[in-house]
Structures are given as C-alpha cells and as structure tokens.
Amino acid sequence: MISLVWKDLYSGRLMILLGIAMFGGIFVLGVLTGSEEIAMYAMNIANVYSMMMVPFFALNSAANEEKNRTLALLRGMPISPKRIVASKFVAALLVGVLWSLISVIAVSLGASLFPGAAGRALPPTPFLGPYQMALTLPIAAVTLIAFFKWNSSAARTAIMTLWVALYIVPTVFRPAGISMTEFYLKIMSPTPSAISIVLVVSLAIYFLGMLVAQEIFARRELA
C-alpha cells in the first residue's frame, strides 16, 4: 500500500508545494519586513489550508484517477479493492497531518517572533490547525465514498454540499442570545479537551467512512 500512497502524494505534490510556497513566502516577507500583520496573514493561510487540504486533496486525487481511467488499471493488477480505497484515505490524512504540523509550527514561531501579537492577532492556540483539519475529516470521508460509489462528479457535489453544511449546521445549534460572529469565535477558540474530542470523533468517522467505501468499491464493476 505504501507505493499507492506515495503515488497519490507524488501526483498531488503541486497542491502541497503551492500551499507551502504561498504560506512560506508570505511568512518570510512578514519576518523580513518586521510586519506583524503580514506574518499573521501567513499564519491564517496555514490554518485555512489545514481546513481545506484533506477534502480537496482527496477530491483532486479521485479526479486524477478518473481522468486517467486508472482505477481499472489498478483493479487489473494484483491489488485488492480494499487496499486501493485505504490508500486514498491514508494519503489524504497524511497531507492533513503535514499541514497541521506546518500550522502548529507557524503559530508557535509567530508567537515567539511577535510576542506582542499573542492574544490579539495570533490564533488562540497553536493547535487550531489540527482542530480545523479534524473538523473536515468527515467531509473528506463522504467525498471519497461518493467517488468510489459513483464518480468524481458526485464527489465534487458532496464536497460543495457538505462545505456549505459545515457553515450552516452550527447556526441551527447556536445558543439563543449569541451572535453568529460570537458563536464562530467560540467554535474557533477550542479548549484542549474540545480539540481532543473533535480529533477522536472525526478520526473515527473518517475510518468508518473508509470501511464503507471499501465495501462499496469491492462490489463495484468497472468499465
């Protein structure tokens, strides 16, 4: 399975490298100019990318597979359908972990380089990146299930629908008397225990999604 995961990481390397270049370039610019605002902007990029990386890497990888019609190539080789599915889930998760690490390092570095920004412009915790990444794992799982059940067009529809839901659903559960801005700030200022719970639950959903996708793909006939 390592070669399948590596293949996905290699195929999607531009997405990862572009993200690193964007974040790194702006961060270095902030440090060189001593601009707290630019450095903070770079850290926000790192955090936002943590949120986007797993679902969009998964979607990109699925779309590439479909464009090249290589699922049939893989199924013609001695590779079990379950392994093919697992590799997609593992590769996307690895990318998410990588970006989470980058965001943790960025925020920690920002806090040491710009101590005045702590508690003001800096994210409330260096672990906001991993937390945001974890929030999107269920979206990535459904995206990949849609791909293995139907195609990348269904996966694209799933990702767009769920992304909108990620913003709308919390409003339904918003406690009375709290504005949307206050509520989102609260969600994005998680306590360490909230981060742990979200990580565990999201990972569980993600791997459950993987099992569902494996069952679906093992039964699917390929043209």
Partner 1 sequence: MDNVAIQLSGVSKSYPGFELEDVSFQLPGGYIMGLVGPNGAGKTTIIRIMMNLARADSGQVSIFGLDNVAHENEVKRRIGYVPEHHNFYDEMTVGWMARFVRQYYPSWDQSYFDALAARFGIDVNKKAGALSKGNRSKLSLALAMAHRPELLILDEPTSGLDPVVRRELLAELLDFMGDGERSVLFSTHITSDLDRVADYITIIVDGRIHASDEKDVLLERARKDEPTASIEDILISAARGGEAR
Taking CA 162 as the corner, what is the angle to CA 63 and CA 134, rounded to the nearest 5 degrees?
A: 90
Least distance (Å) from partner 1 to the CB of residue 159? 22
3-32: contacts with partner 1 (CB under 8 A): 3, 7, 11
149 counts as binding partner 1 under rule CB under 8 A: no
Q: Which stretch binds partner 1 (CB under 8 A): 60-68, 147-155, 164-172, 206-214?
A: 60-68
Q: Would you call 213 helix, strand, or coil by DSSP? A: helix
DSSP 14-28: HHHHHHHHHHHHHHH
Least distance (Å) from partner 1 to the CB of residue 12? 11
151 counts as binding partner 1 under rule CB under 8 A: no
Q: How many CA atoms lie within 13 A of 34 on its CB side?
A: 0
Supply the DSSP symbol for 121: T
Distance CA(137)–CA(201), nearest Å, equals: 10
Distance CA(132)–CA(98), nearest Å, equals: 13
Q: Which residue has the tokens 């999607």?
A: 12
Draw the binding track, 80-99, toward partner 1 (x: CB under 8 A; -: no contact): x-------------------
79 counts as binding partner 1 under rule CB under 8 A: yes
Q: Which stretch binds partner 1 (CB under 8 A): 64-72, 90-98, 110-118, 125-133?
A: 64-72
Q: Where are the beta strands (DSSP E) in 11-134?
A: none
Least distance (Å) from partner 1 to the CB of residue 130? 31
Q: Which residue in the set 28, 32, 72, 200 belongs to the binding site for partner 1 (CB under 8 A)?
A: 72
Nearest to partner 1 of 120, 219 (CB atom): 219
Identify which of 30, 23, 193, 28 has the alpha carbon closest to the alpha carbon of residue 121: 30
101 counts as binding partner 1 under rule CB under 8 A: no
Distance CA(37)–CA(30), nearest Å, equals: 7
32 is written with which tokens? 């060189």
Contact 93, 85 (CB under 8 A): no
70 counts as binding partner 1 under rule CB under 8 A: yes
Q: Which residue in the set 28, 33, 35, 68 belongs to the binding site for partner 1 (CB under 8 A)?
A: 68
Residue type, 16: I
Least distance (Å) from partner 1 to the CB of residue 61? 11
69 counts as binding partner 1 under rule CB under 8 A: yes
Q: Which residue has the tokens 């299930």?
A: 145
Least distance (Å) from partner 1 to the CB of residue 223? 8
Nearest to partner 1 of 68, 108 (CB atom): 68
Q: Which residues bind partner 1 (CB under 8 A)?
A: 3, 7, 11, 64, 67-70, 72-73, 75-80, 219, 221-222
